[in-house]
Structure 1
């Protein structure tokens, strides 16, 4: 079942953020755009490359009014230990959510039950707490955070301009489409 168009289910968990432990709930996603980036586990191989890449694009995302959350089934304590010991993860200034109860991983349908780890899932959530974008990759396939900037811009444009849609490879300022009977078969 697709999560597109569904509201984030209630949850409450702990996270590591800039030297502190904080509580995060579904309410934190309301009133702003959010990205949830699920990954299998701390102290692994592909994961730190993805999370560092996400940090490299974090300022651009923040300028768009987006908060970023990484999520794994590790604890917030493990996130702190990884942050303190890894050069790549030590750069992270966004929120690192711990999901040892697997509540979030199940809510977003990325939990691999047999291992207790999460798939590589990226979710774009609008200010109403509704999922607008989903990308899920196999464990060995790392994601490119630069694509999130354009996806967010497109999602924000569509939200602000009802009746318009963004075509493939759309860039901010480029032409959009207005679906209508006149366009059928003409693209």
Structure 2
């Protein structure tokens, strides 16, 4: 009982000899004095720890399995340009980014909308730029490099895909807006 009173008094934060109430009044004792043990040593165990007698010998950790090398990237023409291959969306995104910036720059410089730009000599530039960027995008893919292997901290391959997607939508929105408006969207 003394140990339980000591435990309760330590939880309550009062000494068991406190005559102002507390544990003495709770137990109904008037001058009840508990022996206080000092220098108690506690041993903390986890619930999963076993007794010393039943401990099993330590088992050596398993050896890590070697990571298999990454499969070789296919450089076949039809694999690179397949619908889900690395080429089509990346090339279209790069062309759209270049086209959107060029269309806005020419509108700011000359005041012509995107349709007037194509009709007034822009079509050969479009063909030349498309061919140049397509070849420049396909050469690394045919040599076995992946876009992810050249990605940095800021310029990731996913960021390039998302920027290309937004540029495709922006170029389409620019063409539709200028068609409905009947003139350049941006003019000086």
- More helix as a share of residues: 2
Choose 1 or 2 for highest CA Rg: 2
TM-score by length of structure 2 reads 0.20
TM-score by length of structure 1 reads 0.20
- More strand as a share of residues: 1
